[in-house]
Amino acid sequence: MQRLVLGNWKMHLAAGETAAFLRDLLPRLPRRADREIAVAPPFTSLPAARAVLGDGPVALAAQDVFWEDGGAYTGEISPLMLQELGVTYVLIGHSERRLHLGETDLMVNRKVRAALQSGLRPVVCVGEQEEARASGRAPSIVRAQVLRAFDEVPRADADRLAISYEPVWAIGTGRAADPPAAAEMHDLVRSELRRLFGEAGAAIRILYGGSVSARNIDAFMSAPGLDGVLVGGASLDAQEFARIADFEAHS
């Protein structure tokens, strides 16, 4: 299984900045068959990113998608629109959307199914708030998010899914989860995926996200069960993101 390193730029880098950044980034990235690299610019920068990336090895991702192909949904972007732009992956259910925009598990599920129907590859984000971890409720919250996100998703689509465990308290704070704790939660997620998809659940990539940096990437990728990382702020620094993509994993 290829590891996936996906940079989420959030609301940063307009179109011109995106093109310049990618021209700086691409020569720095490793060319290794055991990993895949993707970037998720803002919607308005997707065409500029596509123009620079072309059909090269770095995949294009979007930060969100709507669950209808078209209609009276002001401000939304459909799966078909993303597909036309050459998008491969789409983030769904990021904690910032759940927190600031009221995105629910039902909405996440509708987006997952719509993305799959249009040929996109969903990367579903799950994770707990700090108070939930402190009270011991993290496993039940993450388990429920996984089960609801993939409700009525056919087993035949399992090989196009990925999931990112992101403890909400670690996002943008510099306080990453320690690798053993991340690996423990990944085991829980893997167990639920096997329950939902049978043996096909073993092939779904499980990423870690939350203050991933050049300093901690090797430790994360050496932890058992981690199939990649979702990188936030560090993906906006070409040198640091290239170092993250060039991780060394030790068993």
Catalytic annotation, residues: 94, 166
Q: Where are the alpha helices (DSSP H) in the chain?
A: 15-25, 46-53, 79-84, 95-101, 105-117, 130-134, 138-149, 179-197, 217-222, 238-245
Report long-range pairs for 31-36 (Cβ below 8 Å, ≥24 apart). 31/57, 32/246, 33/2, 34/2, 34/3, 35/2, 35/3, 35/4, 35/5, 35/228, 35/245, 35/247, 36/2, 36/3, 36/4, 36/5, 36/228
What is the secondary structure of 41-58 as a DSSP string?
A: --GGGHHHHHHHHTTSSE
Token pair listed for 88: 């491969």
Using CA atoms, how far apart are residues 241 and 6, in angstroms rounded to an integer? 10
Using CA atoms, how far apart are residues 137 and 23, in angstroms rounded to an integer? 44
Report the SS3 class of residue 200. Answer: helix
Torsion from C-alpha of 154, 155, 157, 158, nearest 10 degrees: 130
Residue with tokens 């993250």: 244
Token pair listed for 56: 């090269």
Q: Which of 194, 159, 129 is nearest to 2 (CA)?
A: 159
